[in-house]
Amino acid sequence: MYNLTGKVALVTGAGRRSGIGAAIALRLAQEGAHVVVSDSCAPPSNLPHGGNPQWEELTGVADSIAALGGRSLPVQADITQSDQVQAMMAAVQTEFGRLDILVNNAGATIGPAPVLHMTEEAWRKTLEINATGAFLCCKYALPLLLAGQRGGRIINISSIAAVRPRPFMAAYAGSKAALNALTIALAQEVGEYGITVNAILPGDIDTAMKQWGMQLEALVTGQTPASVSAALAARIPLRRLGLPADVAQLAAYLASDEAAFITGQTYNLTGGREHT
């Protein structure tokens, strides 16, 4: 549907085959793009979190992209570390000589808890991954995007939590709100170069991280994960959880020439559920 032939994309947080990042990477490849896939491939801390993929999962996503006929490069990188982000961009330059699309998908929910009981480590780590990591990727991707004088696309994967925060999720919501603000500010800075910057705010998407969250909720409330999922779906007007492919569809559009006059926007992708 969208022609991305010859474009080079970088998708962070793409190592989990069932996740949003992998779905976006594969969809961009289906549209003809060459795709660099990145992930940390290691637990971010000993605090409770949804888990991270291993190197074999990341290379598996790259292999799937290659099977579609595109070139792919898997890169292990901790996006909270400036030197690793710079090394990742250098690898993109060496392998492809250009970058056209950056998808900041890497994110985490670390140690969700009431503010009264949340650890400083959980707060800092969540903001480092979700906000600082995206900032560093933008900062060090921009020279590549600007070099070709072809314009470009930056797509930030935020969350509906940024505008509809829920209890126990203050760090996550705050980090995604910061990502929304980064999106709008950066769009104004780079628009004159033909680079668009937009954010997608997924709601309840059926990923491994969401399954982990529903298991925690079931444990706290004395329900089963299945009953938590059913109740959640009942509150969504479309009566189902979203799929990673739903997010990938919007990302592919925003990456395409059809979206060339759209920038600085934040798109809710919730199946109609806008409330907490």
Q: Which of these, 87, 263, 274, lies nearest to 185 by C-alpha position?
A: 263
By residue count, the chain amounts to: 276
CA dist 257 and 244 (Å) reads 22
Domain ranges of the chain: 8-205+243-269
Strands (E), the chain: 8-12, 34-39, 72-76, 101-104, 152-157, 195-202, 266-269
User: Look-up: residue for tokens 């994967």?
Assistant: 157
Q: What is the pTM of this model?
A: 0.92
Mean per-residue pLDDT, 29-46 = 86
Catalytic (active-site) positions: 172
What are the tens digits of pLDDT across the range 123-152? 999 999 999 999 999 999 999 999 989 999
- The CATH number of domain 8-205+243-269, selected from 3.20.20.70, 3.30.70.141, 3.40.50.720, 3.40.50.300: 3.40.50.720
- The confidence score (pLDDT) of residue 46 equals 57
What three-state secondary structure class fits 106? coil
What are the tens digits of pLDDT across the range 157-203? 999 999 999 899 999 999 999 999 999 999 999 999 999 999 999 99
Residue 231 has pLDDT above 80, yes or no: no
pLDDT band of 50, cuts 50, 70, 90: low
What are the tens digits of pLDDT across the range 208-223? 776 767 677 777 788 8
What three-state secondary structure class fits 37? strand
